[in-house]
Structure formats: structure tokens, C-alpha cells
Amino acid sequence: AQTVTQSQPEMSVQEAETVTLSCTYDTSESDYYLFWYKQPPSRQMILVIRQEAYKQQNATENRFSVNFQKAAKSFSLKISDSQLGDAAMYFCAYRLNYGQNFVFGPGTRLSVLP
């Protein structure tokens, strides 16, 4: 069974600095998707970034980028120029391509200090 691990329950970063959130996963498959979701205090989960496993190039979305290491089964999220609005729970998730199940990690709570 696939599992997703986020080893940092809590992280903090100074405003305008850079922070990296870790995620590792376990799978025997080669074709899958990885996601980072953000859940602010308002509760609604929103997609931050996604990565297709067959793509070697790391995904980027403005200040958010990933470091995808397929062989190491690692998928970390880097947030550059952190803003107060980035404070939230961040969940890493895995989905097998053409699969129905999304497997979520336990989450990392990010605090942004002014």
C-alpha cells in the first residue's frame, strides 16, 4: 500500500525568507501524481502545486517550487519570499495515475513570523 510521510509536524519561517517542507512516499509504481495542498485556518483545502512522476522537470508555481527526487521517493516543497498569507497546514498527497485513491500525509503546520 502507498504511504505518504511528512516528518515535520510544525515549521516556522521569517517573513520574506525561504522554507522547505519535506515529503516522502512509498510506492512500487512508476506512473503517479504528487500534490501539495494548503489548508489555511478558513479550512478550505486548495491545490498549491502538482507534479507528474514521468516529468523530470520540477514543477513551479510563482513562489512555490518542488524538488522531486523519484529514485529517493522524495517530494519537497520550497516556498520563497514567504508571506503572512502562507501560514497554513500543508499536506502532501499521492495518486496513482488512473487511480481513484488520493493518499495524504499527516500535514505540516507552517507559521510565518513577521
Partner 1 sequence: GAGVSQSPSNKVTEKGKDVELRCDPISGHTALYWYRQSLGQGLEFLIYFQGNSAPDKSGLPSDRFSAERTGESVSTLTIQRTQQEDSAVYLCASSRTSGGYNTGELFFGEGSRLTVL
Sites of contact with partner 1 (CB under 8 A): 33, 35, 37, 42-47, 50, 91, 93, 95, 98-102, 104-107, 109
Closest CB to partner 1 among residues 43, 71: 43
Grid coordinates given for 43: 479550512
Kindly give the pairing relationship between strand 46-52 and strand 32-39: antiparallel
Work out how close the CB of 110 gets to partner 1 at its nearest, in angstroms, rounded to a whole number: 14
Place of cell 497546514: 89
Q: How far apart are CA 88 and CA 100, in angstroms?
A: 26
The identity of residue 14, as a single letter, is Q
Indicate the residue among 18 and 60 with the shorter CB distance to partner 1. 60
Residue 16 CB, nearest approach to partner 1 (Å)? 27
